[in-house]
Amino acid sequence: MQAVVEKADPATFSARFDEWRKSDLKVTAQVQQHVKELGRLNGSLDDFLNDCKSIDNLAGFKDSFLRLNNCVDELSATNQRLSSDVNNIAQRAANKVCSAWRAEVQLDREQQQQQWTTDSARWTKLDERMDVLQLGLKELKDAVGTHSQRLGCLETAQDHASTQISSALGQTVDDLRQLADQQLVRLEDASRATANSNLEAFKQHVSVVLSGAGGIAGSLGTLDQRMSQWELATNTELANQRAVAKDLEENVTKLEEIAETARSHQANTEETLKETTEALTHKIVGLQGKVESSEDALRKAQEVSLEKCMKRLKELDARGNVKVNRQTGDVQVSPIAFVPAKPGEPDANFVDPSVADRVLLDVAELFSIFDGPVRVEAHMKPGKGGKPDFWNLVANNQANLIRQRLEASGAPAARVEAVGLAGKKGLNLDAIVVKLNKDLFPEELSAAPAGKKGAKGKK
């Protein structure tokens, strides 16, 4: 019995207990009526005994006493029947309550089993998505590691290439300088050799001329002409050698400029590589932050316990203001009365704001249990007088008032969708309808109850 009581719905138990208490009060009123009747009979008996004090009325007293005895017997029988009726009523009420409890507990157990099956499938899908996400994170980490290794190899190759280029440029400049020095030495040697050969030839010619039969004037003229040719040839050769040396100096200067340009390009390349490395490092840090955020989000999603959500839904149902169908997602809201609108006065106001706030506070709590948008529809039946546009305006004002109270109760404004429906646009009656996100509930489960309801209505 204790297990049945613990698993039973408190709201249903309260309603059944109220019915039982009303039956008990009715029987108690009947008992009180019988007690009043007994008191009246006792008063009559006292009056009769006072009237029968004389011996003359002894016979009448005897008859009255016998009638009174019969009345007492009838009253005793009535009392016994009343006691048995009370016991029977209490037994039948207890049997009905227990039967209702058993049926409701069985229904809740079946609904809970279906809900657990659905939730188990959802958790399985969530685990699969988490596995896929973890695999993607692992691939991302591997890609980041590979990229880091490539950057390290690129930096090593860049340093090696820079070293080789610097050494090659230095070696080339040294080789060019040595080549220029060797060329200058060869040119000096060639000039000396040419001058020595010309001098030897001049000496031989002078000796020939002096020892020959030619005239001295002619020999001197020939000597002067040859000396001029030799001086011209020597000057030409020196000019050519100076031009070659100048070209070599210009080539060395160009090579030095090329080396300086290469060094600058190398420095720019190193700076670019450094900036690229820093940018990639920042990106890697950002990706790691996103990975950590995703892991935290997954960890928080795992921490949201299904048991806590079910407990909160059970507590919400126990308060009686909101009742959620755990299979279809339909929400049953307690009625909220609005002040009847009059033509020309479309303002919306609650009849009892405290009652309305208590109901809407429980509706706002649904936003913290379920994700996605929540649609709140304010249905109303148009009154007498007024055009359809006026009643549509009244319905919209009621919906806006409900939306404002929900936002004041903690519901996110971005997720609240309030719509007013007047007349045949809606249910054509005064009611508040709350619709949750249907993506949270399986279609095969939500379709079955709808079919049953339609079949029942068809009967």
- For residues 237 and 260, what is the distance between their CA atoms, to the nearest angstrom? 34
Q: What is the predicted pLDDT for the residue at 431?
A: 87
Q: What is the predicted pLDDT for the residue at 396?
A: 92
Q: What is the rounded (10 degree) CA torsion for 404, 408, 411, 413?
A: 50
Residues 111 and 202 occupy one common structural domain: no
**Could you tell me the strand order of the sheet in which 416-422 lies?**
322-324, 330-333, 431-435, 374-380, 416-422
User: Cα–Cα–Cα angle for 234, 240, 245, nearest 5°?
Assistant: 125
Q: Which residue is associated with the tokens 């700076």?
A: 271
Residue 399 lies in a domain: yes
The bridge status of strand 330-333 relative to strand 322-324 is: antiparallel
For residue 433, what is the DSSP state? Answer: E
- For residues 223 and 218, what is the distance between their CA atoms, to the nearest angstrom? 8
Single residue among 81, 103, 129 that ends a domain in this structure: 129
Residues 313 and 407 occupy one common structural domain: yes
Least Cα distance to 324 among 309, 337, 338, 339 occurs for 309
Residue 155 lies in a domain: yes
Backbone angles phi, psi at 382, to 5 degrees: -60, 145
Residues 338 and 431 occupy one common structural domain: yes
Residue 5 lies in a domain: no
Over the chain (459 residues), what is each successive 10-residue block's mean pLDDT? 58 73 81 85 76 63 75 82 78 79 80 80 79 77 74 72 70 72 74 70 62 54 71 79 80 80 80 82 80 72 63 81 79 86 83 87 82 85 83 90 88 87 86 78 45 36
Residues 185 and 330 occupy one common structural domain: no
Cα-to-chain-centroid distance, residue 448: 31
Residues 227 and 261 occupy one common structural domain: yes
Single residue among 129, 162, 193 that ends a domain in this structure: 129
The 10s digit of each residue's pLDDT in 70-110 is: 888 888 888 788 777 777 887 787 788 778 777 887 887 78
Could you give the angle at which helices 306-319 and 58-211 cross, rounded to 10 degrees? 140
Radius of gyration (C-alpha) of the chain in whole angstroms? 58
Contact 308, 345 (CB under 8 A): no
For 355, residues 6+ apart whose C-beta sits below 8 A from its C-beta are 336, 337
Q: What is the predicted pLDDT for the residue at 450?
A: 38
Residue 445 corresponds to which tokens in the numbers above?
Answer: 């489960």
**What's the domain count of the chain?**
3
Residue 424 lies in a domain: yes
Contact 317, 365 (CB under 8 A): no
Residues 152 and 279 occupy one common structural domain: yes
Residue 166 lies in a domain: yes
- For residues 459 and 456, what is the distance between their CA atoms, to the nearest angstrom? 5
Backbone angles phi, psi at 419, to 5 degrees: -135, 135
Residues 42 and 120 occupy one common structural domain: yes
For residue 341, what is the DSSP state? Answer: P
Residue 229 lies in a domain: yes
Residues 402 and 320 occupy one common structural domain: yes
- For residues 219 and 210, what is the distance between their CA atoms, to the nearest angstrom? 8
Least Cα distance to 20 among 124, 83, 98 occurs for 98
Least Cα distance to 443 among 306, 328, 325, 324 occurs for 328
Residues 175 and 217 occupy one common structural domain: yes
Looking at the whole model, is its pTM more than 0.95?
no
Q: Which residue is associated with the tokens 């019988």?
A: 34
Residue 334 corresponds to which tokens in the numbers above?
Answer: 């307690």
Single residue among 92, 107, 129 that ends a domain in this structure: 129
The 10s digit of each residue's pLDDT in 250-269 is: 887 888 788 788 778 778 88
Residue 111 corresponds to which tokens in the numbers above?
Answer: 């609904």
Residue 362 lies in a domain: yes
Residue 339 corresponds to which tokens in the numbers above?
Answer: 């002040």
Contact 415, 366 (CB under 8 A): no
Question: What residue type is assigned to position 332 of the chain?
Answer: Q
> Where residue 361 sits, what CATH number does that domain have?
3.30.1330.60
Residues 218 and 240 occupy one common structural domain: yes
Residue 1 lies in a domain: no
Q: What is the predicted pLDDT for the residue at 445?
A: 40
Residues 268 and 345 occupy one common structural domain: no
Residues 297 and 320 occupy one common structural domain: no
Could you give the angle at which helices 306-319 and 353-369 cross, rounded to 10 degrees? 170
Residue 442, domain extent: 306-458
For residue 339, what is the DSSP state? Answer: P
Q: What is the rounded (10 degree) CA torsion for 74, 75, 80, 83?
A: 150
Q: What residues does 333 pair with on adjacent strands?
A: 322
Contact 378, 399 (CB under 8 A): yes
Residue 429, SS3?
coil
Least Cα distance to 24 among 81, 98, 77, 92 occurs for 92
